[in-house]
């Protein structure tokens, strides 16, 4: 059991561990700092100062006081992120002691997944098939995407044992999937190879990272936003390198790398895809079963709004509408069920909004075909910005609604 003779040091340790855990869940630093300040105020320290970044968190209880730093080690699964939110909720409610909260936060990283590895692997394949049914709904395309998912899962598991594979994972995964898909394309088994190789890589692509970076830049957190954006772009380039090498190896003509969507499955492909993504998330990320229906609901809202926005005005409006619907939907879920974490319900929507996939399409086209205009990247920037703006507007509207409900309750 954690204990200390200095109560201020204990509070700093709690706040810094809480902030570091929130960074590991992928939240923007603006949200993290606001949440930690709320906890600190409840503990009697309204003047707390916190500086959160992608790699660590600094906390002191007031200006000129001693500071505590905690480095961020890796990322957390959705079930672990849900526990972080639960701990924070209990701290705000005053239903948990500082020692208990610190012990629970320290134990998070060692918590085993809910399901065995083989079921988690099956969940990855399910997510891939679900995304393929939405992104490239052709029979052969979905089949090749599923096989590609098996290759990616094998590399991911190998990367936990071999450091070199972990370092080169984006390039190796993209190269393996691209070789499979380009071979199928040259054998005339499928059309639209570029979009076909995206679903197996979607879980690895830095889509959420890019959008978080844009959100942080928009809210004035320049260091965190710029560092995340740089890292995300480098990750995209590593994926692009793998695809470009495979394209050269198979002598793929630039015309075959067009952003071509195949659709020969009909209307039922999208609903089935959403269901498979939800189930796959449950197996891969281990959220509690009570969260899965809410995750599925937010996925449906994001997909419906994105589809409607694209039909009305194109991908930028679609991305904005999808992000806005996902953000408001997740906030509504948390409003109805305060014990359900908004972040966990919302995060899977990034795999549907696919900013990372669109970025990979554009960078691949630019790398392989010199005739492709740089306007393709401008279009991706517009999509990523649209998603970031949708998140910011959704968060602002949800916050205003919560304040209005609090004032209405107090008025009674």
- Mean pLDDT score of the chain: 83
Give the pLDDT of residue 356. 47
Alpha carbon distance 319, 276 (integer Å):
22
Tell whether 43 and 153 lie within a shared domain.
Answer: no
- Describe the chain by its helix, strand, coil percentages, rounded to 5: 75, 5, 25
Give the pLDDT of residue 375. 59
Give the pLDDT of residue 69. 92
Give a yes or no: residue 272 inside a domain: yes
Tell whether 316 and 357 lie within a shared domain.
Answer: yes
Give a yes or no: residue 408 inside a domain: no
Domain enclosing residue 95, as ranges: 7-110
Whether the pLDDT of residue 232 is over 60: the answer is: yes
Tell whether 295 and 393 lie within a shared domain.
Answer: yes
Tell whether 347 and 322 lie within a shared domain.
Answer: yes
Tell whether 39 and 128 lie within a shared domain.
Answer: no
Alpha carbon distance 394, 324 (integer Å):
5
Give a yes or no: residue 377 inside a domain: yes
Residue after which a domain boundary falls, among 78, 110, 142: 110
Give a yes or no: residue 153 inside a domain: yes
Tell whether 140 and 242 lie within a shared domain.
Answer: yes
216 close to 28: Cβ distance less than 8 angstroms: yes
Residue 28: which residues within 8 A CB-CB, separation 6 or more? 212, 215, 216, 219, 221, 224
Tell whether 104 and 125 lie within a shared domain.
Answer: no
Q: What does the angle CA 298 – CA 232 – CA 392 come to, to the nearest 5 degrees?
A: 40
DSSP class of 46: T
Tell whether 357 and 323 lie within a shared domain.
Answer: yes
Residue after which a domain boundary falls, among 84, 110, 136: 110
State mean pLDDT over 7-20. 91
Strand pairing partners for 56? Answer: 53, 71
79 close to 286: Cβ distance less than 8 angstroms: yes
Give a yes or no: residue 189 inside a domain: yes
The H-or-E segment that residue 200 falls in is helix 198-201
Tell whether 77 and 160 lie within a shared domain.
Answer: no
Tell whether 364 and 393 lie within a shared domain.
Answer: yes
Tell whether 323 and 245 lie within a shared domain.
Answer: yes
Tell whether 97 and 207 lie within a shared domain.
Answer: no
Give the pLDDT of residue 358. 56
Per-residue pLDDT tens over the stretch 180-201: 999 999 998 988 888 888 889 8
Give the pLDDT of residue 363. 60
Give a yes or no: residue 102 inside a domain: yes
Give a yes or no: residue 259 inside a domain: yes
Burial tier of 146 (Cβ tally within 10 Å: 0-12, 13-18, 19+): middle
Give a yes or no: residue 1 inside a domain: no
Strand, helix or coil for residue 162: coil
Task: Provide long-range contacts, Cβ within 8 A and 24+ apart, for 57-61.
Answer: 57/16, 57/19, 57/20, 57/23, 57/32, 58/16, 59/12, 59/15, 59/16, 59/19, 60/12, 61/8, 61/11, 61/12
153 close to 121: Cβ distance less than 8 angstroms: yes
Task: Determine how many CB atoms are found less than 10 A away from the CB of residue 137.
Answer: 21
CA torsion sign for 55, 17, 27, 171 is positive
Structure tokens at 340: 């359900």
Q: What is the pTM of this model?
A: 0.85
- When divided into structural domains, the chain yields a total of 2
Residue after which a domain boundary falls, among 53, 83, 110: 110
Per-residue pLDDT tens over the stretch 113-153: 989 999 999 999 999 999 899 888 889 999 999 999 999 99
């Amino acid at each position: 059991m954690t204990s200390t003779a200095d109560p201020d040091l204990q509070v700093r340790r709690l706040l810094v561990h809480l902030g570091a855990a929130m960074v590991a869940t992928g939240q923007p630093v603006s949200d993290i700092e606001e949440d930690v300040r709320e906890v600190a105020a409840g503990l009697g320290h309204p003047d707390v100062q916190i500086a959160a970044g992608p790699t660590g968190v600094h906390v002191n209880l007031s200006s000129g006081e001693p500071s505590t730093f905690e480095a961020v080690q890796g990322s957390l699964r959705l079930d672990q992120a849900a526990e972080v939110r639960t701990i924070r909720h209990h701290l705000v409610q005053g239903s948990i002691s500082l020692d208990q909260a610190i012990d629970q936060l320290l134990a998070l990283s060692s918590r085993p997944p809910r399901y065995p590895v083989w079921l988690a692997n099956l969940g990855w394949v399910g997510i891939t098939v679900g995304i393929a049914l939405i992104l490239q709904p052709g029979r052969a395309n979905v089949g090749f995407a599923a096989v590609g998912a098996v290759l990616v899962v094998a590399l991911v598991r190998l990367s936990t044992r071999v450091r070199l594979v972990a370092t080169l994972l984006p390039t190796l995964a993209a190269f393996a999937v691209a070789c499979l898909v380009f071979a199928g394309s040259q054998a005339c088994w499928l059309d639209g190879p570029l979009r076909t190789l995206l679903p197996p890589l979607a879980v690895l692509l830095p889509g959420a990272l890019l959008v978080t970076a844009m959100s942080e830049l928009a809210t004035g957190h320049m260091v965190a936003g710029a560092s995340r954006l740089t890292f995300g772009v480098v990750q995209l380039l590593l994926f692009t390198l793998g695809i470009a090498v495979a394209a050269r190896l198979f002598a793929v003509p630039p015309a075959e790398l067009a952003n071509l969507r195949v659709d020969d499955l009909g209307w039922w492909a999208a609903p089935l895809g959403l269901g498979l993504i939800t189930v796959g998330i449950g197996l891969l990320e281990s959220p509690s079963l009570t969260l899965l229906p809410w995750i599925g609901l937010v996925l449906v809202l994001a997909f419906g709004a994105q589809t409607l926005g694209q039909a009305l005005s194109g991908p930028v409006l679609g991305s904005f509408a999808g992000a806005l619907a996902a953000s408001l939907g997740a906030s509504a879920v948390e409003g109805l069920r305060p014990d359900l974490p908004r972040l966990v319900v919302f995060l899977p929507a990034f795999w549907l909004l696919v900013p990372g996939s669109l970025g990979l399409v554009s960078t691949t086209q630019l790398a392989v075909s010199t005739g492709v205009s740089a306007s393709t990247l401008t279009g991706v920037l517009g999509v990523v910005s649209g998603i970031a703006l949708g998140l910011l507007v959704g968060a602002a509207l949800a916050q205003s609604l919560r304040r209005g409900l609090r004032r209405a309750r107090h008025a009674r």
